[in-house]
């Protein structure tokens, strides 16, 4: 497998600096030992019990545990341990923040320990690349040449290059999405391609391309010409349905966005796009789509009534059928500092967490869907390394047992 190595030996996380010194385990006095020589607890515990104990450690500590001794290295690298680790203690999604430049170096935020870890991402060469994530895997695609497409695990640094879909190099817009089967670990990558019809400003050729990791082949189940609408760069797969935003090309500022739902299991090739469009909940300046527990969630910039292109707030909605339910609106005290342009923030999420980040600052805001609570993260150290720059980021699940 391309890019595969021992994740225990090659730690992508700078845990030595971020986690501090490794605490030594206490020792027990062996009553059966007449000489009173201290016996390490490590020697007392059988492998299966030690596995269970180590499985409760944070991911950053797992890497350090693998460096303690050969026994621990073998334990944390075993398939049984990886299964225990992924099922015993649920992991919250992390957020990777980096500068909006040609140097994709940044930090990943752990919301449980509220710590930032220095991570070097494999494959990606610029923050302008298209990024999608699901089930512990992240997909990167070169936004400019569109000749490079990778799927990787950012924690273990295992990666694989995927052949790009046919004709995608000649598109004007692409929307990238990935969906991982949590049982089989197979995955699907989708690319929604939009290209303007030659000589006709209001008509756009939109096509959907699907890659199956099991067959390692691309299929193009649908191609359709839209009038007055085009695809963009926002899409996600939820419960077998591909959702992507479309944008008005008719010049109207009041109804600038729409949503298309395409059932990947049916893969019908006729007239589905125009028939399956869903109105957005209100006049939006921008929208971000994400999969939270197989429910489609949208974070959108709410436009002013008299100036729809100016953002006045940020809302969160969940789609039920074809109806939107508003979950929350960002309180004004948090919204201050996001600016008034139409597209001023990045947002992504999974599980129960939604991350919202201003492009102009390294501040990261979290919204807990289960508790309906807003809170700031700890301050990201990326600002110290790269002052006076724009920032972007994405959310991913930290997992050890999955590889592309």
- Give dist(CA 318, CA 142) in Å, integer: 30
The 8-class DSSP code of residue 170 comes to G
pLDDT score at 287: 93
Count of beta carbons in the 10 Å neighbourhood of residue 330: 20
Cα dihedral 314, 320, 322, 327 in deg (nearest 10):
-20
CA distance 353 to 111: 9
Percent of the chain with pLDDT over 90: 41
pLDDT at 32: 44
What pLDDT does 80 receive? 82
Hey, what's the torsion of the CAs at 279, 281, 287, 291, to 10 degrees?
A: -90
Which residues of the chain fall short of a pLDDT of 70?
Answer: 1-42, 89, 100-103, 251-254, 267-272, 337-343, 385-388
Q: Please state the CATH superfamily assignment of the domain spanning residues 94-396 in this structure.
A: Kelch-type beta propeller (2.120.10.80)
Q: How far apart are CA 350 and CA 237, in angstroms?
A: 12
pLDDT, residue 38, reads 57
Q: Would you state the structure tokens that stand for residue 184, as one six-digit string? A: 């089989």
Residue 372's region, left for phi above 0, alpha for psi from -120 to 50, else beta, is left
- Sheet of 373-376, strand order: 345-350, 353-358, 364-368, 373-376
Distance in angstroms (rounded) separating the CA atoms of residues 55 and 195: 48
Cα(98)–Cα(184) distance, integer angstroms: 32
89 vs 95: CA distance, rounded Å:
19
Using the Cα atoms of residue 332, residue 338, residue 340 and residue 341 in order, give the sign of their dihedral: negative
Q: Which residues pair with 317 in a beta bridge?
A: 298, 326
Instruction: Find all residues with CB under 8 Å of 126, minimum gap 6, and list them.
Output: 101, 102, 104, 142, 143
Q: Quote the pLDDT of residue 14.
A: 53
Q: Which two tokens stand for residue 395?
A: 């959310």
State the pLDDT at residue 391: 84
* Structure tokens belonging to residue 359: 């492009």
Phi (first) and psi of residue 18, to 5 degrees: -85, -25
Report d(CA 399, CA 388) in Å as an integer.
33
Please tell me whether residue 221 adopts helix, strand or coil conformation. strand
pLDDT value of position 37: 54
- The 3-state DSSP class for residue 185 equals coil
Nearest CA to 362 out of 342, 340, 385 is that of 385
**What per-residue confidence (pLDDT) applies to 21?**
35
CB-neighbour burial class of residue 384 (10 A; exposed 0-12, middle 13-18, buried 19+)? exposed
What does the domain layout of the chain look like in residue ranges? 94-396
**Helix 47-54 / helix 79-88 crossing angle, nearest 10 deg:** 40
d(CA 107, CA 96): 6
As a whole number of angstroms, the distance between CA 60 and CA 17 comes to: 11
- Please name which of 188, 298, 281, 301 lies closest in space to residue 243, comparing C-alpha atoms: 298
């Amino acid at each position: 497998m391309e890019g595969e190595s021992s994740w225990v030996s090659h730690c992508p996380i700078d845990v030595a600096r971020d986690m501090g010194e490794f605490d030594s385990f206490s020792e027990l006095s062996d009553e059966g030992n007449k000489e009173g020589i201290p016996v390490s607890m490590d020697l007392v515990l059988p492998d299966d019990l030690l596995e269970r104990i180590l499985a409760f450690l944070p991911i950053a500590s797992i890497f350090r545990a693998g460096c303690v001794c050969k026994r621990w290295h073998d334990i944390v690298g075993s398939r049984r341990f990886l299964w225990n680790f992924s099922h015993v203690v649920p992991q919250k999604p992390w957020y990777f923040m980096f500068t909006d430049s040609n140097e994709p170096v940044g930090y990943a935020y752990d919301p449980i320990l509220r710590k930032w870890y220095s991570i070097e991402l494999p494959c990606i060469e610029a923050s302008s690349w298209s990024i999608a994530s699901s089930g512990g895997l992240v997909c990167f695609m070169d936004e400019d040449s569109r000749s490079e497409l990778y799927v990787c695990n950012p924690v273990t640094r295992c990666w694989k290059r995927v052949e790009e879909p046919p004709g995608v190099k000649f598109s004007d817009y692409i929307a990238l999405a990935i969906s991982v089967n949590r049982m089989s670990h197979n995955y699907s990558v989708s690319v929604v391609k939009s290209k303007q019809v030659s000589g006709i400003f209001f008509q756009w050729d939109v096509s959907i391309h699907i890659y199956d990791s099991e067959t390692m082949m691309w299929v193009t189940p649908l191609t359709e010409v839209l009038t007055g609408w085009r695809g963009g760069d926002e899409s996600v797969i939820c419960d077998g349905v591909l959702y992507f935003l479309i944008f008005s090309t008719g010049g109207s500022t009041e109804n600038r966005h729409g949503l298309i739902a395409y059932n990947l299991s049916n893969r019908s090739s006729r007239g589905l796009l125009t028939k399956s469009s869903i109105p957005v909940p209100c006049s939006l300046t921008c929208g971000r789509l994400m999969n939270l527990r197989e429910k489609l969630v949208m974070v959108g910039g709410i436009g002013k009534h008299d100036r729809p292109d100016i953002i006045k707030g940020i809302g969160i909605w969940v789609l039920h059928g074809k109806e939107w339910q508003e979950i929350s609106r960002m309180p004004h005290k948090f919204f201050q500092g996001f600016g008034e342009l139409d597209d001023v923030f990045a947002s992504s999420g999974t599980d129960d967490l939604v991350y919202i980040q201003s492009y102009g600052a390294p501040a990261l805001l979290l919204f807990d869907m289960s508790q309906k609570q807003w809170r700031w993260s700890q301050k990201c150290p990326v600002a110290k390394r790269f002052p006076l720059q724009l920032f972007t980021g994405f959310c991913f699940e930290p997992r050890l047992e999955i590889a592309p």
